[in-house]
Amino acid sequence: MNALDFGFGSIEAQLWQILFLSVRCGAALMAAPMVGGMAVPAPLRILLSLTLGYFIAAWVPLPPPPEMLSLAAVLALLHEITVGLMLGFVLQLAFAIPLIAAEQISGTMGLAIATSIDPASGAQSGALGTFFGLVLSLLFYAIGAHLLWFELLIESYRLLPAGQFAFGAWRAQNVVLFMGYGLAAAAAIALPVVLVLLLVQIVTGLIARSAPSLNLFALGLPAGVLAGIAALIIAMPVMVGQLRGVIESALEQSAALVEAR
């Protein structure tokens, strides 16, 4: 344990150390979907980042920070912000995967016009996307992934010490590759329901072709909605397993990003 001396002679240095160490935590909390956005007030995030900075300064052996108001300190702060945003952005990408899958499903079902206000961002999103986001959030907390992510955030100070520049181009490349994985995972999650809806549309098209007097919109839209809901109920266990795999992949990607090379 590092003994913090809060005497008058060193209080400025101690406060600068805590503030410097809390920058990475604050950037990660700002970008992470758990406490980012409008879900958690900004003063609470600042208080949480300062608290994490204090405990990191007390328990993690770290080199002294650069001198305050120096060029090295400015560059080190930019590095800390980049590392924190990187860790939070990976989770943000993981939480966007079910939203992409929900947009694919709702567009095929005819529910694209059914929107609601997302409480996290305050923007409008599809009702099915909000449902998928809630399922992923509950699963994220149920398996203890938030604790593993905070552990990775603390461990990043050991692997990428604050004030030492270790952010390589390969880390940004891995984040971009994880975006590609997210698109593939979203397509895999939506694939069973989209296939069922495609079959329903083919059947309704054949019926409309054989009986032109039938109203295609009056027949196809309710059939698509009912078939989509039934397919969602049947495929939900498989989707939960896929969402769990998305969370595990995001944590593995976060762990790989803070590895020292």
**What is the mean predicted confidence (pLDDT) over 248-254?**
89
pLDDT at 199: 87
| pLDDT average, residue stretch 193-210 | 82
- Range picked from 57-71, 92-106, 209-223 for highest mean pLDDT: 92-106
* Phi, then psi, of 182 in degrees rounded to 5: -65, -40
* pLDDT at residue 218, rounded to an integer: 65
For residue 174, the model assigns a pLDDT of 80
d(CA 261, CA 249): 20
- Top-confidence residue, 174 or 253: 253
Which of 184, 223, 217, 176 lies closest to 203, judged by CA? 223
Summarize pLDDT for 166-184 with one digit per residue, the tens. 666 667 788 888 888 888 9
Check whether 41 has a pLDDT greater than 80.
no
The size of the chain, in residues, is 261
* Window from 5-9, 27-31, 134-138 with minimum mean pLDDT: 5-9
Give the pLDDT confidence score for residue 81 in this predicted structure. 86
Minimum mean pLDDT range among 15-19, 163-167, 225-229: 163-167
For the stretch 8-13, contacts whose Cβ atoms lie closer than 8 Å and that sit 24 or more positions apart, written own/partner, are 12/68
The yes-or-no verdict on residue 4 having pLDDT over 60 is no
Reported confidence tier of residue 165, pLDDT bands at 50, 70, 90: low
More confident residue, 99 or 224: 99
CA atoms of 30 and 36, how far apart (whole Å): 5
| Residue 164 confidence (pLDDT) | 67
Name which of 66, 74, 123 is nearest 99 in CA terms: 123
Q: Is 9 exposed, middle or buried (0-12, 13-18, 19+ CB in 10 A)?
A: exposed
Give the whole-angstrom CA distance, residue 204 versus residue 223: 8
**pLDDT at res. 53:** 83
Percent of the chain with pLDDT over 70: 82
120: pLDDT confidence band, cut at 50, 70 and 90?
A: low
More confident site: 247 or 127? 247
As a whole number of angstroms, the distance between CA 224 and CA 201 comes to 7
Q: Tell me: pLDDT of 253 over 60.
A: yes
CA distance 194 to 204: 15
CA distances in angstroms from 239 to 16, 137, 195, listed in the order given: 46, 14, 15
DSSP 70: S
